[in-house]
A and B are shown apart, each in its own frame.
Chain A
């Protein structure tokens, strides 16, 4: 019995130990599993947070495992969506701004207080003559030498106002730019500047032409007027004898006529310009019209001993154009009269016609003094004189070629001049041939 009792104790204590061990093992396993189950979503959350940093806002945490982790996951995901939306808004508004600035005709260049480039649009790049826009963050003056901008920027960044000014483009074609520079104001001072560039080459040229025109008109009108006034004064003077009176009367009359001619031409020119497309026109035989204008000047040519030749092509052909007979007569009279005027005795003026596709071309060629190359492109401007003193001696108002150009333009054609100095000039008038069906 004692044996059995001690054996039982042994058995009992053995199984107790075994139970202990087993119990410990089981509880350890359970704890480990529990920990793993609980920490898995946290690991996922950490990965999610990392993805948020990388701007990927989709959550990978399976929802519903634990109440608390679900709440965190949800919050994270909401924050992600909100961030995503605001980033989208920001990106689309930046793209909008970019395309807006890119499409602008004005050039825009923004720089910070250290004169580093913040942005530069395509127009600005083109205007200053660069191939590519300046790199963002680079100092602008490394790629671009632009002294006027440099000077103005220094003043703007120092807090001074700079009124918009003109400057020649630093690289390239010598076009004229207008620069407006405004400071970028931030708290506590000036954080940079925005430069707006516009190409004013054409505008300034027009302004100059207008200024020249007004100056020329005043000059051209005043000269004969002063002569008239001076002559009249002398005539009225009691000490002037009869013969001088007569001479001054002639001078006054000649200059009054000249004044009249200029005013008439000016009015003509403004009528032609304002009529434009509405100039009354009818189908007419162009060659016949040119022959008539030329024949009327035969007397003037003979008086100057200049041979006036109407070429075969003009005498024996006929093309219909839609035109205003009186104005076209003015064109050809002007051209042929000029040719005769600037051709010395024994010289020749030839007038010919030729067809070029849908155009009929009338050419007036002379063997006169010619026009220097540098003046050729300007002779159709009002009052433009190749040689001031000589032109006035020759008479003429200085408006003839301008009228020619405007009339031809109103007819849908064009006029060109070509010349070799000392050998002669050729004026070509191209007009569209009229086809009744069209």
Chain B
């Protein structure tokens, strides 16, 4: 029985890391499409979403099977519950990547906008948050998960700065308001994707330590600093 539940959990972990990899790839491509004005890459992302949707269903089924047939307790139970939540987070994130790609396709057909350096920085931050949150999940690393949560403040700050610049630019170039709104749309999706990575981080901390830190991350942070590792 113990061996079986271990095998089942390993399979679930592998599938969820597979979904994570696909989301990572979709985000990479959609951001490259946005930054390099590459419409072909953008369309690739839009066409690949179905795979994630199918895998989401598979993982959910596996989780429900384990709950029903193996009746996991303690940490095993937390892992299954955590993955159920992360699963739907990831599916949503894949949709957000598709939204970014859609905006990128439109933007590749209009003259370039002048925000490239800052968009690059926000993109790099979001990509790192996603990578770290997925790493913290497969390695069950609560300290890494906490660093994801901390990085969100930086992502928010970059996002607010960019929106400020965009508003300024629209004032000066009213003829380009339409184009800028597409960029703002892409950025909002990116910022929300980063928020989802903090959800994953919170669930990982719950899986590892059995503490619900959602909405209480600040207090957890103090402890994580006191006892690293």
Contact = CB atoms under 8 A, between A and B. Distances in A.
A364 B18 CA distance: 54
B10 A147 contact: no
A142 B21 contact: no
B24 interface: yes
A150 B18 contact: yes
Interface in A146-198: 146-147, 150-151, 168, 170, 174
B138 interface: yes
A330 interface: no
B138 A142 contact: yes
A88 interface: no
B20 A145 contact: yes
16 contacts: A139-B14, A141-B18, A142-B17, A142-B139, A145-B17, A145-B18, A145-B24, A146-B21, A147-B18, A147-B22, A147-B25, A150-B14, A150-B18, A151-B18, A170-B21, A174-B32
A139 B10 contact: yes
Nearest to B20: A145
Q: Choose among A145, A146, A168, A174 the residue with the greatest number of B CB atoms under 10 Å from its CB.
A: A145
Contacts, number: 30
A170 B25 CA distance: 8
Contact of B21 (A115, A139, A150, A174): A150
Interface in B1-33: 10, 14, 17-18, 20-22, 24-25, 28, 32
Contacts of A145: 17-18, 20-21, 24, 134
B18 A115 contact: no
B: contact size bracket: 10 to 19
Contacts of A147: 18, 21-22, 25
Q: Closest 7 CB pairs between A and B? A: A145-B21, A147-B21, A147-B22, A150-B18, A142-B138, A141-B17, A141-B14
Interface of B: 10, 14, 17-18, 20-22, 24-25, 28, 32, 134, 138-139
A142 B139 CA distance: 7
Interface residues of A, number: 12
Given A145-B21, A146-B21, A147-B25, A115 B134 contact: no
Interface string A109-132: 000000100000000000000000
A168 B138 CA distance: 22
A151 B20 CA distance: 13
Nearest to A151: B18
Nearest to A170: B21
Given A142-B138, A174-B32, 8 more contacts: A139-B14, A141-B17, A145-B17, A145-B20, A145-B134, A147-B18, A147-B22, A151-B18
B42 to A, nearest CB: 15
